[in-house]
Amino acid sequence: LTSRHAENNELAPLAELLREARHQYLADPEAAKTALTSAGESPISPAVPLSEIAATAIMVRAILCSDECIHKL
pLDDT for position 38 = 73
pLDDT recorded at residue 64: 87
Tell me the pLDDT tens digit for each residue of 4-35.
788 889 899 999 999 999 999 999 999 998 88
> Could you tell me if residue 42 is left (phi over 0), alpha (psi between -120 and 50 degrees) or otherwise beta?
beta
21 CB-near residues (< 8 Å, 6+ apart): 54, 55, 58, 59
Distance CA 59, CA 73 (A): 18
Q: Count CA atoms closer than 13 A to 39's CA, side-chain side.
A: 7
Interval 25-73: pLDDT, tens: 999 999 998 888 777 778 888 899 999 999 999 999 998 888 777 775 4
DSSP assignment letter at 73: -
Per-residue model confidence (pLDDT) at position 72: 57
